[in-house]
Amino acid sequence: MSVLPIVRWPDVRLTETCVPVAEITDDVRALAADMLDTMYAAQGRGLAASQVGATHRVFVMDAGWKEKRSDPLVCINPMLQEIGEERVSREEGCLSIPGVLASVSRPSQVQMVWTTLDGGRCVQSFDGFAAACVQHEIDHLDGIITFDHLDTETRAAVEADYEGVA
């Protein structure tokens, strides 16, 4: 296992849609392990394959590890199957856009289905921060970044701040 370099915006790979994983191979398992190592090393709570330059529909997350409630997940071919109606706005950061926080409005509750590393199917509901994390990572798999959720004026201001940091 190793720590991988994180792709940073405006790298075009962050705007590309990832392809479904057809078979869970040793390479997919190694990628997932490396992604977890990379996420923890970067002090993140989620990381999509596109953020490390891979094109697979895989993300890892551990929404509670910073609060000593570690529950790492490896999600292969994740899909939202239920989306709550209530929306909440929260500040989101992104390992691919370091130093930038942006207010993003998202559903407060979602249900996701995904394949596990052992090939099993998992269905789980998420709310609060974990729901935002799931949606953020699925966005990455679909080539959507945090900036894409902002209106034109806010996006321009946030991008200008980022360019000053980068």
Catalytic residue among 82, 137, 153, 163: 137
Question: Is 86 one of the catalytic residues?
Answer: no
State the CB neighbour count (10 A cutoff) for residue 147: 20
Query: What are the backbone angles phi and psi of residue 36, rounded to the nearest 5°?
Result: -65, -45
State the CB neighbour count (10 A cutoff) for residue 86: 8
Number of helices followed by number of strands (H, E) in the chain: 3, 7
- Using left for φ > 0, alpha for ψ between -120 and 50, and beta otherwise, residue 99 falls in left
Instruction: Give the residue numbers marked as catalytic.
Output: 137
